[in-house]
Each structure stands twice: as structure tokens, then as C-alpha cells.
Structure 1
Amino acid sequence: MTDLAIAANGLRKSYGDKTVLDGIDLAVAEGTVFALLGPNGAGKTTAVKILSTLITADAGRARVGGHDLTADPQAVRAGIGVTGQFSAVDGLITGEENMLLMADLHHLPKPEGRRVAAELLERFDLTAAAKKPASTYSGGMKRRLDI
């Protein structure tokens, strides 16, 4: 059997008396493309926020990348990348400057931040555009930079 990238059982979340997620179960195999679809208010964003450790579930259990959300949230964060519907890229600065800003926000030492930024720009095929303002990037380039 294929290992699971995401395994969730009975995830629940409420805000006061408003239940926003009511017992979701997910099993997503590694290496698959998975879409979480539903109408507004169905709990999609809440589920993603829980699975990416931005908020905690009120009930249920989940593992992402083999790591328990509750027991080892840092390992979950280290193993995933999450991008929202709208890009967090600053178009007024270069792609490289966007990467260095993120390195600073993650408290990486300057030399390590420069190394990681260069590696990621290369990995996502953005090296040639690294010194250009992000506002000049195509939509796909901005998405890769955002990730």
C-alpha cells in the first residue's frame, strides 16, 4: 500500500457555538494530486489551516508527511509548503529580495539565508529572473516564488 501524505480522522473545529468542521476524514496517498472542493462555508480553509498547523483541531487526529500534528507540529511545518489563493509576493522588490526577506523572517543567519535563497531560486527555475522586480514575473513564476 502507498504511504499516506495526509491521514486525518474525525477532525472537528468550532468557534463558540458555531461548528465549522464536523468530523472530516481524509486519506491522501503520497505522490497524488488532491483537491478539496466544496461550497463556501464547508470548512475547506479550516481543514487546510489545521493540517498546516496554523490552528489546532478541537477533536480528531491527523498526520501529515508521517508526522503527528499535535506531537510534532514543527516537523509538519518543515515538510510542507502552503500557498493561499492570493500570492504573498511583494512585487516592488526582486525575487531574490523576496526570498531573503523570508529567510530573515525565519531567523536564518545571513549566510545561510543567502545560501537557501539561491538554492530555492535555482530549484524553482527562477535564477535568471532573481534580480528582476517580482511585479514583472508571470503568474506561474509568482506562484513558484510564493511556494
Structure 2
Amino acid sequence: MDPNAVLQVGQERCDVLVNAKASDPEAVLSELITNPSQESADAIRNLCTDLLPDLEGAALGFPDGVFGVGVHDPRAEEPSIGPGTYRAYPGTEGCSISVYAGSGALIGEYDASAPVVIATDAGRVDSSQCYSWFRS
């Protein structure tokens, strides 16, 4: 690969992320959560290091989908998230998250109007139409 082309692609990715952050500070974090890529991570680590806190924050968040809670079991069907307090990307209509106990019993259903606490006794979460959840 041409090193100049790699550098140019990385710089273009940085420009997109920096511009997104300038217009909406949480947009870059949400983008990194919903569209994680090694190219973006490499660009941030090497070319736009001011976005490192966003990259680190994205690693703690999660997009829509079904997630186990707690230690990741490689045999599990879904990826895992850590217990904690999360808030949804703002302005997402129809956003909902359901939190289930390890037994499968519903603990609660929530919308994006307030942060959601996912406790250590939760076994699974199911998020729909929220785009992304940030660790608070």
C-alpha cells in the first residue's frame, strides 16, 4: 500500500470526526460506538489525538441490539457490556431499552428520557431505535 494514500485516508477520517464533533459534541462518540473500525481508531491514535477521550468513551458504550451484561462468555450468542449507568444519544424518537435479569425475567423497560442503570444483577439488555448508549 502507498503510505501517502493511507495517511490521506486517515486524515480524511479525522476531518470527518472533528467536524462532526464541532457540530454536535456527542455525534463523534455515537459514530464511534455504532460504526467501530480499526481505521478510525488508528487515525485517532496517530493523527487526531484530541479525539482519544471519545475513542475511550466509545469502548464503554454500545449500539442498538441485544447484549449480555457482565463478563463476556465466548460461547454466548451476544456481545457483552458492563454494568453501569448509560444514557442514549439525544433526540432519538421511539428509543427503548429492556433490561432482563439473568433468569430472563424483565427488570424494566425504559425510554431515552433519563439515564438507565444496568445493575450487576442484569443478565441481558435489548435496545431498539436508540442509535447508541453512552456510559455516564
Q: Could you say which TM-score interval applies, normalised by the shorter chain?
A: 0.3 to 0.5
From the CA coordinates, give the structure whose radius of gyration is larger: 1
Q: Normalising by structure 2, what TM-score? A: 0.34
The higher-RCO structure (CA 8 Å, 6+ apart) is 2
Q: Which structure has greater strand proportion?
A: 2
